Structure 1
Amino acid sequence: MPIKFLYSLFCLLTGVLSAMSSRAAGPGVINLLPSDYRAANKNWAVAEDDAGTLYAGNDKGLLEFDGLQWRLYELPRASIVRSVAPLSHDVIFTGGFEEFGRWDRDASGALRYTSLVPAQRNPRFSDSDFWKIYITPQGVLFQSFHGIYLYDYERVRRLTGEMNMLFLLRAGDEFWVQEMGGPLYRMRQESFERLPDSERFSTTTVRVLLPGPHEGEWIVGTGTDGLWRYDGERFTPWSPALSERLRRDELNCGIRTSRGTYLFGTLFGGLYEAGADGRLLAVLSTENRLLNNSVMALAEDAQQNVWAALDRGLSLLLFCEGVDYHTYNKWAAGSLYDACRWQGKLLLATNQGVFAVDESRLATGVDPSDFRPVAGLSGQAWSFDLLDGRLYVSHNTGVTELRPDFSLVRRSDMGGYGLRRVKLGEKSRTYYASYYKLRLLDDDGTMHEVDGLDESVYRIEADYMRNLWLEHPSKGVYRCRMSDDGRRIEERTLYGGGAGDGLPYKLHLLRVGGRVALMGDDRFFRYNEYTDCIEADTVLDAAFRTVEDIRRVIPYADEWFWVITGSGVWKLRYDGRRSAELTPCAGIPVDNMIYGYEQVARLDDSTCLFCGDNGFELVSSQAVEIPPPPIPPLLESLRASGRRGDEAWYDLSAAVEIPHQRNSVTFRYAPRRGAVPGLRFRHRLTGMESAWSESDRTGTADYARLPQGRYTFEVAVGDVFGRWSEPARFPFVVLTPWYATGWAYAGYVLLLAFTFYCLWLLVMRFYRRRYLRRLRLQEIVALRRANRELTRQIETRDAEIVAQSSTLIGRNEIILRLRDMVNEFQQKQGNRTTAPLWQKVNAYVSSKLDTESDWTLFLIKFEQKHSSYFRIMKERFPDLTTSDLRLSACLKMNLCTKEIASLMSLSVRAVENGRYRLRKKLGLTSAQNLNEFLLHIDSQESGPEDDEK
């Protein structure tokens, strides 16, 4: 809601007032522009529900105001809302052009619309506006110019009758309606009965029907024919003077207030307030306080204040017992600094001069133009002082005496703030607080300068110790000792104003309980004549311990004071010693007062005038009331949201359990009295915090990521006087998250057991692998050891084979050489005598050249090393003969051709031919080496058993 409206409302209305008086005081008026409520200019209807929420029918839709902010709800097709009737805070009925229906409040606090227009429309339904809505025990009545519809909360039906009618008006338990251009009818049980003597209204329109001043009487208001009284039999004119004015301005609406007065709204002249006897009490229009002169509807709220729906904007009329408001839209007199009564007139001292108005005019209301300037006193006027029957005006140009005939006598040419008569010892003297120096006014009217202080003086007081106290306009306070003739300051002491005494720089001077006191920075001080120092006034400080922004303390009676603060007005009763009692005052505005120059003028023993920027308030010090204490606020909605942006709204009428995945909550709340100004809220969440939050006016409270548990949200409302209501409470539960439920813990136990089992398996696997690795290492070591042993054996066998082969080859070579030598010898000698010896030697040599035996020995050694060689060769090359295998074995042993020939008892040529045949059978090309092929064939084709061996 706009800050401007809240602040104005804050200063004008502080509670519910219920007193009644014979003469109603003028109301205060708060005007709301379309920019304040953010909708169209024209408002057609206004009403309040049971929770204090305001609704207005606007050209753009339905306006809602909960005391903190405005909301606009649009109808289908952006239809105008011409009538509003709340059934409760949760159900609102509205009517518009060819449309009527109900609004239901959802869990979020927003209103949702449901049209009640029948599917089968009556032909007369077209082009109809629904102007009136009434809630009855039988249901809800919706009235247009062409018919009345009844909604019984289940279905809608049109009441019988084809009469073209004007406005349906309530008369107690029954309804009246006027036929267009015809008489009035009484509607009873859905039938229409003509009222006798009502044909007189055929030429006008009946727009208002209100209870009369006596039982059984009704006041009938017409648009152009004034007011009439109906006593059950006939109609008689009522309040002719008022009727004449209403006839001129065209009456449009009206209500009877709970204060016993009547308010009539017109189309051209604003508002008229009348008493029960028809006497005009006040007129509100654009000439004084009203925003607009076209009043479309009126409604009284629970605080007995009145809302006015206007052709342009809204106005709130504030009625406070004991407070008569005189603030004006077109105030031209300027800012008001003082006032007094003089010769039957009320005089006002303003920054534009001195203005006067007849006091008698205040009883029935005055316009700004009624305040006339006093000639010769234009410009800044500060105060009035009535001394010895003479009225002095302290002005920017000096002091002027205003005679009873309003002639002027100049007493000083030095401008100043005011005169003050004080008693110093046995003699009374009158001093003048001027812009430059203190001045003394003699009894003959002569003004003298007082020496000893060349500074400006704003206020003057004196104590019983013959001290004269002088307040500077901008800094501290001087305590002065005066000469016997009072024209010279002999001694002075500055308190505050940077004097280094620890006191506030700016001090205000006041007199309480017959003693001088000082005030600054919301603290009070007094002068102790025994110690000659300034000390704290503990009694006043204790009384004001909860009050902030204290601006002025102004006496108006013995021991009674007005206390002006930044938020409101208090009454203080202080005896100057031990007792100080503060009482808040309802309905006195402070935002209208001039900051730094707040002033309350005492007109008589019971009436005070509060000065303001655009007018004043007349306050009865005895009648002004204490505002009632605040009541607990209304909890509107609860929203729970999660981290992913999902949210849910909850019904506050039932117990709420919030899932943990939506554990961020937002509460929205509003005051129950609607438009009560200056209200503040504080909240806390028990179960999470014990301290209250800082006060604010946001209307919302947020708590993010609440842990599981039970909570109670508490919110209290406080007024401008620091009083707090009982908190509104709402308990709720944030459920345990799924990962903290019993099933989850059971799953955690199973998961933990499974984890331990898996860890156990992993550990066992680790130790098994380590054991197997150790076994493998042991096997590898054993195999390496066996391999080394086998290698050694192979090398030994290779050596043996080589040695054996070499031995056999060497032996055979020797034997063959001997045989060749013997054969050569025998051939050369040819001696028969040696033939037997040759034969024996040759036989012996032949016997020793047993190739099969030699080969067998060679084969035994060869197969010890190459056990699978011959098998592999036979499998791969089945065409090989025994000679081929033997030759390949010799070649595998890397024997040369000559050695092979010797071992196999073959010639070298035969060996070469054998090598050729072997290459051919092995399928080797010319590029392949036979020896290398044979060396690798055993290792390439050996199996696992051979490898192990």
Structure 2
Amino acid sequence: MSYQLMKLFYITLFILLLNGIIDHSVLSAQSLISFTKDDYQAASQNWSIGCAPTGYIYFGNSSGLLEFDGVSWQLYPSPNASIIRAVAVDNRRVYTGGYRELGFWERTQNSQLQYFSLTDSVKSQFGINEEFWSIFKSQEQIIFHSFAGIYIYENGSFTVLKNGGFFNFATLVDGTVFVAIHNDGIYRTENNQLIPVTNSDFLKEKHVRFIAKGHLPNTYYIGTESAGMYILNTTTDEFKPIANNLQSFFITNKINHGAVTAEGDLIIGTILDGVIGFSPTGKVKFQYNNKNGLQSNTVLGISFDQYNNMWLALDAGIEYISLTPGNNYRMYMEKEIGAIYSGALFNNQLYLGTNQGLYVKSWQDTDGSFKLVDGTQGQVWDCEIIDNHLFIGHNKGTFISSNEFSLLSDYSGAYNIKRHPRHPDVLLQGTYNDLIVYRETQNGWKMSNTISGFNNLTRFIEVDHLGNLWASHFYSGLYKIRLNDDFDNVESVIKYDKFEDGPEQLGHLNVFKIENQIVITTGHKLYTYDDLKNTIVPYNLLNDALGDFKAAKRIVPGLNHHYWFISEKGIAYFKIYANEVSRIKFYPKQLFENHLIPDHENIVQFNDTTAMVCLENGYMLLNLNGNNEGIDIASHEITLRQVTATNRKGKPFPLSIEDQSINLPHSLNNLILRYSFPLLNGETVKFQYKIPGLYDQWSALSNKPTIELSRIPSGTYTIEVKAVNNWLKSSKTHLLKLIVHPPWYQTTYAIAGYLLLMVGLMLGLKYITSRKIKLKEKRKREEKEKELIQLKNEKLSSELSYKSQKLASSAMSIIKKNEFLLSLKAKIKKHKEYLGNRYPDKYYQEVIDKIDDNISGQDDWQLFEANFEQAHEAFLKTMKKKHPELTPSDLRLCAYLRINLTSKDIAPLLGITVRGVENHRYRLRKKLGLTAEDNLTDYILNA
């Protein structure tokens, strides 16, 4: 409950009867609200009070400076950990004083108070135990009072007034500080000097505790601690006692503080018996002590706020007492006696019918407690005054009293009792099961009989102008009953389960009478009985005039053509006369703080000025002459007290509240707003807000004066906040402009960057697309070129293969030819050897030469060389270029090795033996510069 430290107690009304009786027919007493240390979270003991023009209230507390903004409390620890004895407030500062310490507090930008000490500039004047007990503001001066003297602070410096005496008491009267110096007299300050007011010996050994301007010219009220109250005439220097009837009270209970109200009444706070208010003639207006609501009997401080409400600083706790006249209601909490269903003001006694029994106390003895009436234990349903008799409808039966109570009937569950309009000596009553008849005899009212023919639970009954008895069942409908002339039997019964044009599901019906006209409530609208048509019809006159209260559940007659209507909206008081309907009072449901008894709401009017509302744990008295009805709130505006932004991790950042606008970076888009509403008049207030564009409807009413907003979207908003009292009246709406900047990625620069990036991306995309197209076209071209090359290569390969085949065929042809020639040559040689001279040498050599020419013929080589050049372009040229020492025979061998011919194949081509080929190969290796490890064929193939 960090934001709801204020505890609005149910308002209690007490007036002490001291030497006289106060008139209770009008609610003229005060409302009391108590604040405990659990409420304000500081020490119990409070020493002084300062009321600011803003409505804030400050208290000097044993733990520090207490601040109350009308809703919540805040404690500022004292600067030197000592008790703050004295408090005074001006428009800008809060001045405080304590043990060897004085200074002031100023508000910072985040609405917190910061302390500035004045001690160093004046502590040279302090005594050993200097302690400041009161502070006053007079024009431009701040006056601090200690028991040793007066310290006047003005224009940044101090003037100290001392005369060696004991400055027992100091106060401010009409802007002038008055000082009581023990056994020396009373002085006033003027031009920074002490001027005697009186040095009368009358004050010897008397401790003055109160000085105020008297009601007569040149007079002052003087209150002493233990010698009573007096009025001082400064012209004659005479002291005369006032309020003689209270002198013994003052002497016994010791005066500690005092004040004078705007009406001229005196308020005295005592050490032993609380606070008392009285007129100068001694007429007691009120007294509060710990017997009737005060937390402590020791009053240490008294002050009045700007609304003339009284605040008390007590030895234990703080009290608020509203002295504002014209209050509309007072609530009494009586939890011990149970839920209250009915009541009556009878013979100056207040009777309350509860679920525990009938309780009573004197109407005048507001200090007293309720007592149970013997024999009435149990549920009481109804209290009615008829012919100066009090009838009590009880679960056990019906009781009657003129002086003492007696049981009139023992028929259980006695509800509503009514006089028959045509027979004043007959009373009719509904119960759990029976209808009962009572008759007035010479010996008083007696039960006559029950009515035969109808046995049902009847909560409300009425008799119309035709003599029909109307009875509403608690659960199941409405009955019109015709009785015989002796009222002992039912002639006819008509149950109404449905009305002609009633769309509602009928069931929870109640019957009442307004201006002798039967009225039926349904919770939606009102109906009545049309005797001409003998039917039930909507009561359009009232439905049109009553507004929301046509949905009333119960109607209670008041006085002089006035009626109370109870609905889900609350309670309204109407005057209905001659077809004219006017609303006099309206009490919203919220006013009763959810204490009405569901389905048993009731109000009892005592007289022209006072009515009582029955509650679950007490009762409320309404002042019908009150004319406030919560309208004061409309002229006040709530105050923004504190603003805190938090980041995503919840780290708080207090913000300045000097301007009516807040600028938040997006990283701090969580906001906590705390408000105050220092209108203190005893009314409970709640809070609502809306933020058009974010939350367009007013929020639900909340007791907390705080608004917590999370993850607020970027944008500009107006936060509207108002206070609403129990009368559903609203204060002025507080407006706060809120600007939440977008995140960095939504700023103008970021958007410009995004645009540039998009343009860059588009250009890049265009470039990439164009490049891809070009690359694609290039790849297509390359693929086509590769295809062409491949085709060309395939063609060349084919041609090379063909040429190689042709070259191979040519070589093989030459080889075969040469082989043939070599074999032929060998045969011829054999023939020569065989024939000898028979084969002439001439012919033999001719044939051999011819064969040799064909074996190494130039034509064969040229043909081979031509085919070889086609298959192995520029091979021979390359070899000749690299190895110019190669002979044509070497080149021919290289060519044959190029086509991978073996030595055996090469021998016929060269016309030599295989061994000759090997020798040639050897010589070739040398010319090519090959080593033993090098392979000749591989070298030629890779050349």
Q: Distance in 2 between the 1:391 and 1:99 partners?
A: 66
Aligned 1:361-440 pairs, distance under 5 A: 362=364, 366-368=366-368, 387-388=386-387, 402=401, 406=403, 411-414=408-411, 417=414, 420=417, 422-425=419-422, 428-433=425-430, 437-440=434-437
Letter in 2 for 1:669: Y
1:788 matched to 2:785? The reply is no
1:908 aligns with 914
Contact (CA 8 Å) 1:267, 1:294: kept in 2 or not?
A: yes
2:19 aligns with none
Contact (CA 8 Å) 2:416, 2:459: kept in 1 or not?
A: no
1:28 matched to 2:31? The reply is yes
Which 10-residue stretch deviates more, 868-877 or 904-913?
868-877
Q: Distance in 2 between the 1:63 and 1:98 partners?
A: 20
Cα offset for 1:284?
A: 1.5
Q: Distance in 1 between the 2:644 and 2:719 partners?
A: 13
The normalised TM-score by structure 2 is 0.82
Q: Distance in 1 between the 2:411 and 2:936 partners?
A: 144
Q: Distance in 1 between the 2:406 and 2:781 partners?
A: 131
Contact (CA 8 Å) 1:178, 1:206: kept in 2 or not?
A: yes
Of residues 714, 718, 721 in structure 2, which corresponds to 1:712?
A: 718
1:467 matched to 2:475? The reply is no
1:267 aligns with 271
Of residues 626, 631, 638 in structure 2, which corresponds to 1:634?
A: 638
Of residues 338, 345, 354 in structure 2, which corresponds to 1:340?
A: 345
Contact (CA 8 Å) 2:213, 2:220: kept in 1 or not?
A: yes
2:447 aligns with 447
Cα offset for 1:760?
A: 2.0
Tell me the secondary structure at the aligned position of residue 691 of structure 2: strand
Contact (CA 8 Å) 2:341, 2:353: kept in 1 or not?
A: yes
2:311 aligns with 307
Of residues 913, 924, 931 in structure 2, which corresponds to 1:923?
A: 931
Aligned 1:241-252 pairs, distance under 5 A: 241-252=245-256
1:173 aligns with 175
Cα offset for 1:900?
A: 1.9
Higher relative contact order (CA 8 A, sep 6+): 1
Tell me the secondary structure at the aligned position of residue 469 of structure 2: strand
Letter in 1 for 2:438: L
Q: Distance in 2 between the 1:546 and 1:157 partners?
A: 66
1:44 matched to 2:47? The reply is yes
1:192 matched to 2:197? The reply is no
Cα offset for 1:765?
A: 0.6
Of residues 755, 778, 790 in structure 1, which corresponds to 2:784?
A: 778
2:562 aligns with 560
Cα offset for 1:216?
A: 5.0
Contact (CA 8 Å) 1:46, 1:55: kept in 2 or not?
A: yes
Q: Distance in 1 between the 2:395 and 2:845 partners?
A: 178
Cα offset for 1:768?
A: 0.9
1:207 aligns with 209
1:946 aligns with none
Q: Distance in 1 between the 2:908 and 2:150 partners?
A: 144
Contact (CA 8 Å) 1:82, 1:94: kept in 2 or not?
A: yes
Cα deviation digits, residues 836-892 of structure 1 (max 9, x gap): 444544555555555777666655544544446568879999998887665454333
Which 10-residue stretch deviates more, 541-550 or 694-703?
541-550
Aligned 1:797-836 pairs, distance under 5 A: 797-826=803-832, 829-831=835-837, 834-836=840-842
Contact (CA 8 Å) 1:288, 1:330: kept in 2 or not?
A: no
Cα offset for 1:297?
A: 2.5
1:224 matched to 2:201? The reply is no
Cα offset for 1:270?
A: 1.4
1:257 aligns with 261
1:753 aligns with 759
Which 10-residue stretch deviates more, 242-251 or 690-699?
690-699
2:17 aligns with none
Contact (CA 8 Å) 1:548, 1:566: kept in 2 or not?
A: no
Of residues 239, 263, 273 in structure 1, which corresponds to 2:243?
A: 239
Contact (CA 8 Å) 2:56, 2:68: kept in 1 or not?
A: yes
Q: Alpha carbons of 1:339 and 1:655: their partners in 2 closer, same or farther (altered >3 Å)?
A: closer
Which 10-residue stretch deviates more, 296-305 or 819-828?
819-828
RMSD: 4.7
Contact (CA 8 Å) 1:101, 1:114: kept in 2 or not?
A: yes
Q: Distance in 1 between the 2:31 and 2:169 partners?
A: 31
Q: Distance in 1 between the 2:849 and 2:357 partners?
A: 175
Cα deviation digits, residues 675-708 of structure 1 (max 9, x gap): 6534344433335565444444443445555555
Cα offset for 1:719?
A: 3.2
Cα offset for 1:776?
A: 0.5
The normalised TM-score by structure 1 is 0.82
2:905 aligns with 899
Contact (CA 8 Å) 1:385, 1:418: kept in 2 or not?
A: no
Contact (CA 8 Å) 2:307, 2:681: kept in 1 or not?
A: no
Tell me the secondary structure at the aligned position of residue 195 of structure 1: strand
Cα deviation digits, residues 197-220 of structure 1 (max 9, x gap): 366546344333333323554323
What runs of 5+ residues in structure 2 fail to find an aligned partner? 15-22
Cα deviation digits, residues 743-762 of structure 1 (max 9, x gap): 55544443333233212211
2:20 aligns with none
Cα offset for 1:782?
A: 1.5
What runs of 5+ residues in structure 1 fail to find an aligned partner? 14-19, 939-949
Contact (CA 8 Å) 1:294, 1:310: kept in 2 or not?
A: yes
Q: Alpha carbons of 1:194 and 1:774: their partners in 2 closer, same or farther (altered >3 Å)?
A: same
1:945 aligns with none
Letter in 1 for 2:931: G
Q: Distance in 2 between the 1:757 and 1:714 partners?
A: 49
Cα deviation digits, residues 392-434 of structure 1 (max 9, x gap): 566666555545xx46666445566578553444665233555
2:493 aligns with 492
Contact (CA 8 Å) 2:12, 2:330: kept in 1 or not?
A: no
2:513 aligns with 511
Contact (CA 8 Å) 1:118, 1:156: kept in 2 or not?
A: no
1:114 matched to 2:120? The reply is no
Of residues 323, 326, 330 in structure 2, which corresponds to 1:321?
A: 326
Q: Distance in 2 between the 1:880 and 1:528 partners?
A: 148
Aligned 1:726-745 pairs, distance under 5 A: 726-735=732-741, 743-744=749-750
Q: Alpha carbons of 1:802 and 1:155: their partners in 2 closer, same or farther (altered >3 Å)?
A: farther
Cα deviation digits, residues 63-117 of structure 1 (max 9, x gap): 44444444444445765444444445x8544445555555555565x52432425
Letter in 2 for 1:228: Y
1:768 matched to 2:770? The reply is no
Cα deviation digits, residues 881-914 of structure 1 (max 9, x gap): 8876654543332222233223234332232344
Letter in 1 for 2:489: R
Tell me the secondary structure at the aligned position of residue 212 of structure 2: strand
Tell me the secondary structure at the aligned position of residue 631 of structure 2: coil
Which 10-residue stretch deviates more, 790-799 or 746-755?
746-755
Letter in 2 for 1:728: H
Letter in 2 for 1:220: I
Letter in 1 for 2:241: P
Cα offset for 1:772?
A: 0.8
Tell me the secondary structure at the aligned position of residue 214 of structure 1: coil
Q: Distance in 1 between the 2:438 and 2:38 partners?
A: 54
Q: Distance in 2 between the 1:591 and 1:812 partners?
A: 136
Q: Alpha carbons of 1:458 and 1:52: their partners in 2 closer, same or farther (altered >3 Å)?
A: farther
Tell me the secondary structure at the aligned position of residue 368 of structure 1: coil
Q: Distance in 1 between the 2:449 and 2:852 partners?
A: 175
Tell me the secondary structure at the aligned position of residue 840 of structure 2: helix
Identity %: 25
